[in-house]
Amino acid sequence: MPGGYNCSCPDGMDGDGRKSGSGCTAHPKKQSAVMEEVALVDENRLKQFINEIVILSQINHRNVVKLFGCCLDAEFPLLIYEFISGGNLAERIHEKNKDLLFSWNIRLKIATEIASAVAYLHSAASIPIYYRDIKSSSILLDEKYTAKVSDFGISRLVENDKTHLTTSVQGTFGYFDPEYFQSYQFTEKSDVFSFGVVLLELLTVEKTISSSRSSEDRCLVTYFASSVREDHFFKILDPQIKQEGKTEELQAVANLAMRCLNTSGRERPTMMEVASELERLRRSDEPSVVPDNGQEVEIFINETLSL
């Protein structure tokens, strides 16, 4: 525990690791929990702590991590989440250990579940929510590879009549929507762009920013665009999924990623449309029908490389 002391709490409870024994918290039956400590001296972290409680109290979705409660009696406030045993998606797709990688069908399942969760935030939550920091390290996986979206510290509730948030740029480099970066206006389509980057990670197992690539291709989005332009997209796919996935299916997911990464937010699909398309691909026993998207690819490449 955070304080480094084994305090004596009653059976079925855990303490905060300090001699005071304050903050002892009951275990939910047959479930595990994990605590996140927040330093009071960091005002921004405290605001995120409060914001996360407010946001997660509005959410009930199987692919969003559950907040069991919080502890304010300890020296530092604590958030208490369900414990997700499988680590995060970034660890699974970027670690060099090949034993950590998983099949194309599991990757498609994970993508579908993430999209479903974000579509719920945008369209089905009691108050619409912009996630604002979709990235592979915020996606937790349980022992059955079920995706759990976590880390809502900079997420925001959005009034129904609002189309965007005007705010200073926050998020993670490599996942930023270029329109948001330029205008400081975050829309639901900004989340769509970030999700498109996660799709590329699942397809290629490449990092979003990598110094091992050329300076022109250091960003995964531009690397993907140039590979399409030079007609070697399949060369940058993870070899494992090239062996396992149907060519038509891989093309369809790549095409969906391109639509999500369109530099014009208006031209991107909604997360509901993304989730629906991924679910169709996942459930369909028939080869996916992929339209001729040559013009779309060309427009995407030209716009992306001009960033």
Tens of pLDDT, residue by residue over 174-194, are 999 999 888 888 999 999 999
In the predicted model, is pLDDT for residue 5 greater than 60?
no
> Residue 163 — very low, low, confident or very high, per pLDDT cuts 50/70/90?
low
**Mean pLDDT, the chain, integer:** 80
Q: What is the pLDDT of residue 35?
A: 52
Q: Please write the tens of the pLDDT for every residue from 105-127.
A: 999 999 999 999 999 999 988 88
291 vs 214 pLDDT, higher one: 214
Mean predicted confidence (pLDDT) in 33-49: 62
Identify the CATH number of the domain defined by range 13-82: 3.30.200.20
Q: What is the pLDDT of residue 1?
A: 42
DSSP per-residue codes, 240-295:
HHHHHS-HHHHHHHHHHHHHHT-SSGGGSPPHHHHHHHHHHHHH-SSPP-----HH
Q: Please write the tens of the pLDDT for every residue from 224-234.
A: 999 988 888 89
Q: What is the pLDDT of residue 45?
A: 72
The answer to whether 13-82 and 89-305 have equal CATH topology is no
Q: Please write the tens of the pLDDT for every residue from 235-287.
A: 999 999 999 989 999 999 999 999 999 999 999 999 999 999 999 999 874 44
Q: What is the pLDDT of residue 253?
A: 96
Percent of the chain predicted with pLDDT > 90 = 47
Has domain 89-305 been given CATH number 1.10.510.10?
A: yes
Domain ranges of the chain: 13-82, 89-305
Give dist(CA 283, CA 123) in Å, integer.
23
Q: What is the pLDDT of residue 36?
A: 58
Side-chain-facing half-sphere of 112: CA atoms under 13 Å:
16
217 belongs to the catalytic site: no
In the predicted model, is pLDDT for residue 153 greater than 50?
yes
Q: Which of 133, 151, 177, 217 is catalytic?
A: 133
